[in-house]
Structure 1
């Protein structure tokens, strides 16, 4: 079974396809708020999924990392508008230190192709 790497770099790929599954690197984005960063990061998820012939209706599992769990409702307001409500994935949301204090939210996605 082949492995396809999307936007590979020396440290990581933005996505890896193995069989009928795509694994995305954690997606972060710039923005002044959790909502701004969530919208931008989820747009990146859309682009990466489309690049391998998938979309958000095929999400299997999403882990969301928040720098501050107090922003859970703010992130969910963006998530609820974005997610395919007919095909929601399994999901976990946790509080964690992210790579830089400039990041407030990160989305780690696994989807079917």
Structure 2
């Protein structure tokens, strides 16, 4: 009986797989379109020193103090992608890189 239940679960899971993959594809397309809109707006404003990913990072940071790990957990950023873009934003003066008083290993 347990084997039959597993087979049914598997069939249901297989039925959802195409819809799930299609949803992932649509989310990826939407994200790319958002980055294109941000890029167009940056160009319209003459803001050429940052790219759309960096602008989105700035938006997500806002006035908060966040670690790269917190940014990764809140958004769809890869580790090296976040670190590279944060360094670029620090170098350009958009954000500061300050060590946390609570955890000296952490930078804010």
TM-score (norm 1): 0.29
- Higher Cα Rg, which structure: 2
Q: Which has the higher strand share?
A: 1
Structure scoring higher RCO (CA < 8 A, sep ≥ 6) equals 1
TM-score (norm 2): 0.30
Q: Which has the higher helix share?
A: 2
